[in-house]
Amino acid sequence: MSKYDVSVVPAQPGYAVLFLFKPDYREPVIAWLIDGFGNVAPMTAAGKHPQYSDNDDEALLYPDGMVRYGCEYYPNEPAWRGRARYLMMKKAA
């Protein structure tokens, strides 16, 4: 497999992309994109979402309620939202 090859794997139910500035909105993950380097990104009906960047306002919700934001894990959505807002305010200051 070259670095340009991409595999698409169907997602199990319960995964969703969360948006920091849209608290009542989430996009269900329908598939996972895996590139030739082994990087995995969630795919929703709206398209691919870069998952491993702390600069984004997006996070991944797991079926058990845990949230991944960049390389950090949070026990639930409210914990992620509080920490992400704090980090963005700190960055803006």
Q: Using one digit for the tens of pLDDT, what is the confidence trace for 3-12? A: 678 899 999 9
Domain range summary for the chain, segments of one domain joined by +: 6-92
pLDDT of the residue at 51: 57
Query: Can you tell me the distance from the alpha carbon of 25 to that of 53, in angstroms, rounded to the nearest whole number?
Result: 20
* Residue 73, both tokens: 């894990």
The answer to whether residues 27 and 46 touch, using CB atoms and an 8 Å cutoff, is yes
In this prediction the pTM is 0.81
Instruction: State the residue for tokens 């309620």.
Output: 65
